[in-house]
Amino acid sequence: MNIPMVDLKAEYALLKDELEPAVLQALAATQYIGGPNVRAFEQEVAAYCGVRHAISCASGTDALLLALRACGVGPGDEVITTPFTFVATASTIAMCGAWPVFVDIDARTYNIDPSRIEAAITPRTRAVIPVHLYGQPADLAPIAELCRRHGLKLIEDAAQSFGAEYGGRKSGAYGEVGCFSFYPSKNLGAFGDGGMVITDDDDLAERLRVLANHGSRQRYHHDVLGYNSRLDELQAAILRVKLKRIDSFNAARRRIAQTYNEHLADSGVVTPYADGKGLHVYHQYTLQSERRDAIQRALTEAGIASAIYYPIPLHRQALFAEQCRDVQLPVAESAAQRVLSLPISPMLTEAQIERICAVVRSAQAT
């Protein structure tokens, strides 16, 4: 039997009796745009994250773009971020006419290294975007202090970390704004695309809502250049059902990660490092090995999914390579050659973990 990266079929089977009535009710109400489920979901996420405002949108990419625009990032500006993330973190900066300045990562957590940020700050710097990679929050306290001293916005890319915590606050609630993705494979995933921005700042919230609605506060009156970025009613209905389970599902991910750690102890692979400064939610279970490619081939032959997040750091992508030709970020470049993510979801069984680990140990030892 094949083992997928995320078992969405098993999740659907578990939640079917709650999901289907919610969707049918939304269909029958015929309020497909900006309906009651969207409004209720925004309120529920705001309450869950402990913030005043949650503004839904069409995707995690849109969430980042809206956050950057709302924070005033524009042409000629610079935004400091990590090269070891999905391209949307940096491409949205470029979409604003600004430029991403890449800072190397911590070798253990894979998150941006706070000790390297200050050296990258220039008079053009407007914001810092740490990414909570694989579900572990970046070390936000020193980053927030840097932002405070230099007058910069702290924008959290929390796309992989819904429900994680740092400093007693939920992921996304530490900086001025936090950005979420509800892509189906995320810890809180829709049945399509979706995103959200959260903030405690009333003015930022107003700007975010205007930007997401064609730059409009009043129908047919358009004050700024905006976007058509909405979370639809059906996705909101689905996400409301799943939100009720997020803490138990994240707890299951942590238990699964611990089981992986136990089975892979002394195997020769480097298992994920939890820094203890926050609550990890293991969006991915990512190991390191010099034999990464051999392990992945063995897993594929055994019918077990795996993935490399991310094989090419952003400063080496064609999109940014010309401007970054002199940039050397050795930690990120090394990680890109060694990391491999194994299947993880709340539905993964002990037997499946044992099978996966047996293949990993064998390939590592060969």
The last residue of one of the domains, among 223, 243, 263, is 243
The answer to whether residues 149 and 289 belong to one domain is no
- Whole-number Å distance between alpha carbons of 319 and 15: 40
- Whole-number Å distance between alpha carbons of 170 and 186: 16
Structural domain includes residue 2: no
Residues of the chain with pLDDT under 70: 1
- Closest to 22 (Cα-Cα) out of 35, 9, 10: 35
Q: What is the DSSP letter of 156?
A: E
pLDDT of residue 287: 98
Task: Find all residues with CB under 8 Å of 292, minimum gap 6, and list them.
Answer: 308, 337, 338, 339, 340
The last residue of one of the domains, among 225, 243, 261, is 243
Structural domain includes residue 275: yes
Q: Do the strands 125-129 and 153-157 form a parallel or antiparallel pair, or are they unpaired? A: parallel
Domain count for the chain: 2
Structural domain includes residue 184: yes
The last residue of one of the domains, among 194, 215, 243, is 243
Q: List the CATH number of the domain containing 218.
A: 3.40.640.10
Q: List the CATH number of the domain containing 251.
A: 3.90.1150.10
Query: What one-letter code names the amino acid at 265?
Result: A
Task: Find all residues with CB under 8 Å of 262, minimum gap 6, and list them.
Answer: none
Structural domain includes residue 3: no
Q: Domain range holding 25?
A: 8-103+110-243
The answer to whether residues 191 and 274 belong to one domain is no
The answer to whether residues 206 and 82 belong to one domain is yes
Q: What is the DSSP letter of 118?
A: G
Query: What one-letter code names the amino acid at 224?
Result: V
pLDDT of residue 108: 97
Residue pair 299/287 in contact by the 8 Å Cβ criterion: no
> How many CB atoms within 10 Å of residue 20?
12
* Cα atoms in the Cβ-side hemisphere of radius 13 Å centred on 65: 22
pLDDT of residue 158: 98
Structural domain includes residue 327: yes
The answer to whether residues 220 and 286 belong to one domain is no
pLDDT of residue 347: 95
The answer to whether residues 153 and 235 belong to one domain is yes
Residue pair 143/155 in contact by the 8 Å Cβ criterion: no
The answer to whether residues 289 and 217 belong to one domain is no
pLDDT of residue 218: 87
The three-state secondary structure class of 333 is: helix
